Amino acid sequence: MDAGQLAALIAAGFFAVLACVAVYVLLRLARLTSAVTGMITQYRDRADQLIEQAQAAVDRTNEQLTRTDAITASMDQVTANMAELSGHVSALAGLARGISTAATAPLTGLSAFVFGLRRAIVVRRSLEAAVLADGPDAGLQPAARRPAITGTVTGGRAGPR
């Protein structure tokens, strides 16, 4: 073996070792690539799940907003109806006050008349009783000698003040 052949043999050995290292690196790179591919697939699945959950949350939010809009619209209608009802009640309150005044004015006058009539009857009865007690000529006595009529109406009878 001469020096050229020995150099070729050493070069072939280095080439074989280099080829083995390259194969080893390529195998490791293939494993790394498959691991990265698996992780990317998992992340994609998780991202799809997150997107689906986010879409479901957005859909639920839209449903709630739709319900809220319906409730708000009905509350606006209720508010308008309450304002209208308040106007009607105010109008009826004035009418009720007028009817009450119109109904109670004659009753008040009638009750005052009945009270005065009753009082007059009581006074007249007490005068008649005094005349009967003093005799038939008691009504002809001067005013100074007549008995004083003092009393109030209590339960239909005259009594001292």
Give the number of residues written for the chain: 161
- For residue 151, the SS3 value is coil
Whole-model pTM: value is 0.37
d(CA 58, CA 13) in angstroms, rounded, equals 66
Burial 100-133 (b: 16+ CB within 10 A, else e): eeeeeeeeeeeeeeeeeeeeeebeeebeeeebee
Q: Which residue has the tokens 């050995």?
A: 13
Over its length of 161 residues, how does the chain's per-residue pLDDT go in tens digits? 789 899 999 999 999 999 999 999 999 999 999 999 999 999 999 999 999 999 999 999 999 999 998 888 888 888 888 988 888 888 888 888 888 787 778 878 888 899 999 999 999 988 888 888 776 554 555 554 555 555 555 555 554 54
